Amino acid sequence: MTKAKRKRLIYNLVTYALVIAAYIILQNMIGAKTISRSLKGLLVPICAWIIMAVSLNLVIGFSGELSLGHAGFMSIGAYTGAIISGWLLAAFDMQDPTLRLVLAIAGGGIVAGIFGVLIGIPVLRLRGDYLAIVTLAFGEIIRNLVNVLYVGTADGQLHFAFLNKKLPADVTMLVDGAKGAVKIKPISTFTVGFVLVMITLIVVLNLVNSRAGRAIQATRDNRIAAESMGVSVTKYKMMAFVTAAVLAGMAGALYGLNSSTVVPTQFTFNQSINVLVFVVLGGLGNVLGSVISATFLTVLPEVLREFADYRMLVYAVVLILVMIFTNNPLIRSVFGRAVAPVKGLFRGKKNSVSGGEA
């Protein structure tokens, strides 16, 4: 086992272990009823934002393309999830919430993936700033389209209408234009959210450490060099982009089905930027960093509630300070030294294990 490989393995194991440990602790708190309502209510959104951040990190950190339309994929997932769940309940009387949730999440992922391919084909031929602007426009187009989308269900069938509400009179509305997806039965659970986070981590960590992942990173580091080595740049960029879109769609379905209603205004450009902030704070190409920063920045505004009127101001100040400190070499080295003994512990163990193998 080479040194680089071992380092990567430890990094991946630590990532999984931290997420699993957090899940076990929180589940115990829920079981013992020592968890506050606020924290309990935040669990599913945190899972959704972690998936959003990790998947965007795949595009920005590993494939090196600045995508500003990630919330667009999330909204596709949220709407698809809400429609599937509502339809299954109305048409097939499917009462099992977990099964409905799983099907809705799968559907959300697939539809977002299809859009990912459609958008990816023209967009990924562009580079840098152009790509950023086009993805931004895509997010806005999606938002404006769902704003005039009407979906209802009657007699087991789905009815769609655009621009005006020309649906049969007896339909049960699922998506009602600007009113968004309505009357959703909230079925998302923390356990499903946790499983989805684990799936995301496994997919992303395995992808970036695979042959394809190295190709993706090669296209980021030097496009021309990668191309001259026979790496198909568009293919690998597409792979990262569509995987991220599928994951964002799944996160969207989880997020949408956690609430009784979803509105287009939740998925504006601002929301895409929000996810971008998670990624930048956690570090480009750092998956564990994305997990931690998404959690931290979702919980932070709630912790700051006691500041009342000054809450958002304090939030912004904390964000600036965190950005400065995590980029300060001195603080990084102090932090690195503090973590070193723990790292050494791991290294020692791994050495003895690999020694045994030899």
Partner 1 sequence: MKKLIALLLALALTLTVCAALAEEPVVLKIAHIGPTTGAAALYGLATQHGAEIAVDEINAAGGKYQIELITEDDEHNVEKVINAYNAALDAGAQMILGSTTSKPCEAAGAQGYVDRVFFLTPSASSTAVIEDKDNVFQVCFTDPNQGSASAQYIAEHKLGTKIAVIYNNADVYSTGIRDTFVEKAAEMGLEIVSEETFTDETTDFTVQVGKAQEAGAEIVFLPMYYTPASLILKTASDKNYKPIFFGVDGMDGILSVEGFDTSLAEGVMLLTPFVATSEDERVKSFVAKYQEKFNETPIQFAADAYDGIYILLAAAEKAGITAEMAPEEACDLLIAAMKEIQVDGLTGSMTWDESGAVTKTPMAATIVNGVYVFED
Question: What is the binding site for partner 1 (CB under 8 A)?
Answer: 36-38, 40-42, 45, 144, 147-148, 177-180, 182-183, 186, 255, 259-266, 301-302, 305, 308-309, 311-312
Q: How far is the CB of 147 from partner 1 (least distance, A)?
A: 5
Residue in 73, 49, 122, 53 with CA at minimum distance from that of residue 249? 73
Nearer to partner 1, 261 or 326 (CB): 261
Phi and psi for 16 in degrees, rounded to 5? -60, -45
Q: How far is the CB of 37 from partner 1 (least distance, A)?
A: 4
Nearer to partner 1, 87 or 255 (CB): 255
Residue 162 is inside which H or E element, if any? strand 157-162
Nearer to partner 1, 186 or 283 (CB): 186
Residue 300, token pair as written in the block: 């932070």
For CA atoms 133, 138, 143, 147, give the dihedral sign: positive
Nearer to partner 1, 136 or 288 (CB): 136
Q: How far is the CB of 6 from partner 1 (least distance, A)?
A: 41
Nearer to partner 1, 121 or 273 (CB): 273
Q: How far is the CB of 283 from partner 1 (least distance, A)?
A: 25
Nearer to partner 1, 266 or 293 (CB): 266
Phi and psi for 180 in degrees, rounded to 5? 80, -165
Helix (H, G, I), strand (E, B) or coil at 194: helix
- Number of CB atoms found within 10 A of residue 95's CB: 9
Nearer to partner 1, 72 or 180 (CB): 180
- Number of CB atoms found within 10 A of residue 358's CB: 5
- Angstrom CA distances, 346 to 117, 337, 340, 351, stand at 41, 15, 10, 9
For helices 128-147 and 70-92, give the axis angle rounded to 10 degrees: 30
Q: How far is the CB of 260 from partner 1 (least distance, A)?
A: 3
Nearest-5° Cα angle at 307, 302 to 313: 85
For CA atoms 58, 64, 70, 73, give the dihedral sign: negative
Looking from the CA of 191 toward its CB, the CA atoms found within 13 Å total: 9
- Amino acid letter for position 80: T
Q: How far is the CB of 257 from partner 1 (least distance, A)?
A: 13
Nearer to partner 1, 154 or 182 (CB): 182
Q: How far is the CB of 208 from partner 1 (least distance, A)?
A: 29
Q: How far is the CB of 26 from partner 1 (least distance, A)?
A: 15
Nearer to partner 1, 27 or 268 (CB): 268
Residue in 356, 357, 354, 355 with CA at minimum distance from that of residue 5? 354
Residue 345, token pair as written in the block: 């512990």
Please give the Cα distance from 104 to 88 (Å, whole number).
9
Phi and psi for 87 in degrees, rounded to 5? -70, -45
